Structure 1
Amino acid sequence: MAFSSLYGSSRVETGTQHLSESVFAGLCEIVGTSQLVAIRRETVDIKEMVERRATSDHGVIGMMSGSEREGFRLKGSDMDSMYWRNNHRVIMAMSQSVYYNTANTTLILSDSSESPPGFTLLQLLTPTTSRSVQSACVRMNDRVYIYSSIYRQLHVTYLSIRHNSTVHGPCASGVRAGQEYDYAYCFVCDFWPPSASSWINRCHAWPDPEVVDDIVRNGCHFVAIGHPLGPHEEEEWRCSFSQAEQKCVYAMNHCQFLTYGLLKHFLKEVINQQSEETNELLCSYHMKTTVFWAIQQNTLPHWCPQNLLVGFWVCFKLLLKWVYEGICPNFFIPQNNLFLTKVHGSAQNRLFLQLHELYKKGLACLLQSPSIRSYIINVLYNPRAFVCTDENNMKSEFDCDVEFFSEIHRNAFIHPENLHSCVKYLYTVEQLVDSPLTQYQVITLQRLTASFLQHSAFVLHNMYTNTGVNKKMYIADKISCQMLKSAAKFGCISDMLNIAMYYYKTLRYREALSVIEMTKVRLAQPYLMYGVRADRERYTEAVGGQSWSTKMRQAVAWDINFYNTICYINELIPEQQSALQNSWHTLCIPVFVMLHFLEFLCYTYIDTTLSQAALDELQVLVHLDQGLYVSDIDRDISWEILGICQQITGNHQAALYSYQQSLTQYPFHNTQTATQSRIQDITGAVPHE
């Protein structure tokens, strides 16, 4: 294919199939194959399913949303989440109140009579025990309404204490450990809004009827932001179809999903680089809306690797049309114009001219995208080169394992706070085991079960410590030991350290050291996969072809998570309390730091020479590691633990240095209060020169 054939007209040349295949293969590398995308989605799905079923009526439900939930793992993308109270429900009509027990459910009525399409007022119908809801209520015309502006500000203020959050649309927005986040506090509605009823009638070919029924059955949410041009901006709430959008994205075939990914890259790397005046007019949500409409209108009959660039061009032309008209119709409520407050006037004209210049270049405009350029150039200079579009041959077994175990680890963060909650989670898992699950979800449940058993063991022990009832303590101890051993049998290698922690906590130092030695041997295996790091050849040789369950038990290790409402090791209680004061619920401790820490603590009571040797190993690790075993966000807690060990030995100068180093690291774990307290203790003990 000649390079010039990409230029000179606003059409896409018919000879672009080979080029499309190359870009498809490239996007599979950048965005992921359909298998990797399925892994990301299904591990999140099963985690949230467990959480929802186990959450009490008075609890808060969380849902990951946005690009991450859709299956993207793009560098620089936000972490979007939505939260709502489980015992608050929005209804669309008073007749729907019969579906709820108002003794334990707060009902809120959607009143959209005076609001533009997609927006509504929320009238509080029954009493609420939520302080934030009470504080956001204002009486108007003898009715009580929940003001979105007050509700939003209350939650942003709460989060700003912890993370310096700011208002971003309906969300509390901020940055933590380099990751941008948007948290939207909202209300859930079990009913499909009447204003979106036309969408149901439009779904002739896509999505499938089963998907449409599922979407309608699951209702919508209301997020705290009003229409910017209406008279009720401070009071109104916007109807959010985040859950419906996620299901629509799931309903895409992989070529359609990659087209969406290509548009996201094109927006970030090309469109938003045109000028400062226009670089914030369009967003990823507009790209998603474009793909939705293009698929539903059946503009392209066959979305396949050979047609990927044709699909991209269809979407780009639709976007260009919308910018020209100044109208981007919401996919569910077309009367809601997504361009209303941004794409208008001189900025709209400038954006249209910029997009039209890109349009005139044809597909050559993609050469301005650093991510995509090489896949185009490779084909242009070698048109006969073979391009593999068979996804089964694109990613190795090793690459899939790295992705899968990474996703499992990031979705294993569920922390029951008491024994009743632990039992409820275990019961939920037991119920789900008999459900139709994918292979990815089965292993995720296995991991979650190990985690719940570990929590239960420590919670149970803490309940009966110092009760003075020996028989109860003996029974609780026996049950705790059994749960920890069971968790280690189908968990990963690092789960063995929970047994060692428990033995240390119950003064069985030699038993703890025996487990530590076994763990040491297994962590020293050359094929170990720790986080996303492993020796590809040795890993494949050792466990290649084995089940994921076997691989997790024999070759995988993760960091140790302390849930700060549970006491694991007395020496870390100040750090856990410090984190809790900042509403931070976990300490994430690198597995090798924990290994040496436990070894040091146990040998302190048995052999001081060996305890010093363990401390020396810990010191070398913390001082010299270059991110291999101690990541940047874990350096604060790692220096802290080193300081604790040095303080125990009486080496106050070394401990002081370690604590000071901990304070200079990124404060990921929010342990600064504990660190400063320990420094004060030491400086009172260190003689002045």
Structure 2
Amino acid sequence: MELYDRLGYLFGTEEYVSMRRGLVLLREELLKYQFRYARQLFICSGSLGEGVAYPESDDDVMIYHTFTRVVKSYREATWRGDLLMIPSQYSPGYCLLLDVKQSYPAYIIHVIDKMPFLSSSKWKQYGLQEGESIHGPCQSQIIGAYEYDNALCIHFPSWPDVAKNWILRSRPHGWPSHDVVQNIIMNGCHVVPIGDQTSAYHQHEWRISFSMAERTLMHSFNHVQFLTYNLLRLCLKRVIGKGSPGVLCSYFMKTTSFYTAENTPSQLWQAENIDTCFKTCLSVLYDYVDHGYCPNYFISEYNMIKRKVNYTNLQPLLDIIRSLHDIGIVRTIHLCGESKCFDR
């Protein structure tokens, strides 16, 4: 229990994390009220939205309009601002958006085979303010020591066909629960303006984003799972990312945490087992890297690690992950420069 308490000091107690999440929801409601006439909605989708408060925490906000949406068929396209999803044939999770009603201005449209598509690159350039830059799918701004990312996304109220297997797959250990899965499906997902860099249409493609679903899943974690995930993120920032820079990102840690929680008994995730939980996640991550295949949690056909690991960075990365597994939580925390949590 002492180790669990020390990690709670480092990343937040269960009560403190719950309070932070409540403040995030309040922030969203205040933004909704402030921009009610613009019919904009806001989702705090970064680690702060998940209840993480740490120097490396990111403050990402997804912004979308209530009068624009993505649909799966012409029959569903009843709004003036509806966009028809045309899934990529080569990159699962990516798509083009057809302007069905031809209602969008020409400066954000790209014509392919005489058909008007909403261009992702033109979309995120639109409204870019002085001091802002493009960072992935986001309009990014640095204020002081902090970076703020706003993703101008579009709501997709249905559940994408490419992720149907996520709904249907067996969950023998009961996580996530049926109610959580149904809640996620009911809220749909979003598309964000970034394409697959290997695609001929990458400047105009969009990526399906499950950020809202991920936040719901993170909120359904028990506190041991939450602390374990945070420790993985800390290891990435302080150890893995320095030893093998640019290979893995925090999304790999989140994906590893989700799959591990889904495929292990709930009895494992107890305070007295937290070191074992940490090592179990590292073993899963090790296997992903070693096999060169890290499946997206919602779209298992999408290999997130493709083209990231090669013969020059594979072994150093495996060595770091194995080393963290072998030394356990206490020495890992010291290695991350956070020994102060043991000085209390």
TM-score (norm 2): 0.91
Q: Which residue of 1 aligns with 2:184?
A: 215
Question: Does the 8 A contact of 1:57 with 1:86 survive in 2?
Answer: no
Q: In structure 2, the residue corresponding to 1:172 is in which secondary structure? A: strand
Partner letter of residue 154 of structure 2?
Answer: F
1:525-576 deviation per Cα after TM superposition (whole angstroms, max 9, x unaligned): xxxxxxxxxxxxxxxxxxxxxxxxxxxxxxxxxxxxxxxxxxxxxxxxxxxx
Partner letter of residue 296 of structure 1?
Answer: E
Cα separation, 1, equivalents of 2:248 and 2:11: 21
Q: In structure 1, the residue corresponding to 2:164 is in which secondary structure? A: helix
Q: Offset of 1:72 from its aligned partner?
A: 0.9
Q: Which residue of 2 aligns with 1:71?
A: 51
Q: Which residue of 2 aligns with 1:288?
A: 254
Q: Which residue of 1 aligns with 2:306?
A: 340
After superposition, the Cα gap between the structure-2 partners of 1:65 and 1:374, relative to the gap in structure 1 and judged at 3 Å, is: closer
Cα separation, 2, equivalents of 1:266 and 1:354: 10
2:75 equivalent among 68, 89, 95: 95
- Larger C-alpha radius of gyration, 1 or 2? 1
CA RMSD of aligned residues (A): 2.3
After superposition, the Cα gap between the structure-2 partners of 1:197 and 1:372, relative to the gap in structure 1 and judged at 3 Å, is: farther
1:310 maps onto 2:276 in alignment:
yes
Q: Which residue of 2 aligns with 1:455?
A: none
Q: Offset of 1:70 from its aligned partner?
A: 0.2
After superposition, the Cα gap between the structure-2 partners of 1:58 and 1:203, relative to the gap in structure 1 and judged at 3 Å, is: farther
Cα separation, 1, equivalents of 2:168 and 2:33: 32
Q: In structure 2, the residue corresponding to 1:370 is in which secondary structure? A: coil
Q: Which residue of 2 aligns with 1:200?
A: 167
Question: Does the 8 A contact of 2:193 with 2:207 survive in 1?
Answer: yes
Q: Offset of 1:154 from its aligned partner?
A: 2.9
**Bigger RCO (CA 8 Å, 6+ sep):** 2
Cα separation, 1, equivalents of 2:321 and 2:35: 48
Q: Which residue of 2 aligns with 1:228?
A: 197
1:87-486 aligned within 5 A? 87-97=67-77, 100=78, 102=79, 105-128=80-103, 134-155=106-127, 158-159=128-129, 161=130, 164-202=131-169, 204=171, 205-274=174-243, 278-298=244-264, 301-363=267-329, 364-372=331-339, 375=342
Q: Offset of 1:114 from its aligned partner?
A: 2.8
Q: Offset of 1:77 from its aligned partner?
A: 2.1
Partner letter of residue 95 of structure 2?
Answer: T
2:62 equivalent among 71, 75, 82: 82
Q: Offset of 1:347 from its aligned partner?
A: 2.0
Cα separation, 2, equivalents of 1:321 and 1:177: 39
Question: Does the 8 A contact of 2:255 with 2:297 survive in 1?
Answer: yes
1:62 maps onto 2:28 in alignment:
no
Partner letter of residue 116 of structure 1?
Answer: S
Partner letter of residue 94 of structure 1?
Answer: Y
Structure 1: 5+ residue stretches without partners? 1-20, 379-689
Q: Which residue of 2 aligns with 1:541?
A: none
TM-score (norm 1): 0.47
After superposition, the Cα gap between the structure-2 partners of 1:353 and 1:226, relative to the gap in structure 1 and judged at 3 Å, is: same
Cα separation, 1, equivalents of 2:266 and 2:313: 31
Cα separation, 2, equivalents of 1:168 and 1:327: 25
Q: Offset of 1:57 from its aligned partner?
A: 7.4
Partner letter of residue 28 of structure 1?
Answer: G
Structure 2: 5+ residue stretches without partners? none
Aligned length: 341
1:344-402 deviation per Cα after TM superposition (whole angstroms, max 9, x unaligned): 33123332233334444455444412215753x99xxxxxxxxxxxxxxxxxxxxxxxx
Cα separation, 2, equivalents of 1:223 and 1:284: 18
Fraction of identical pairs, as percent = 30
* Structure ranking higher in strand proportion: 2
Q: In structure 2, the residue corresponding to 1:234 is in which secondary structure? A: coil
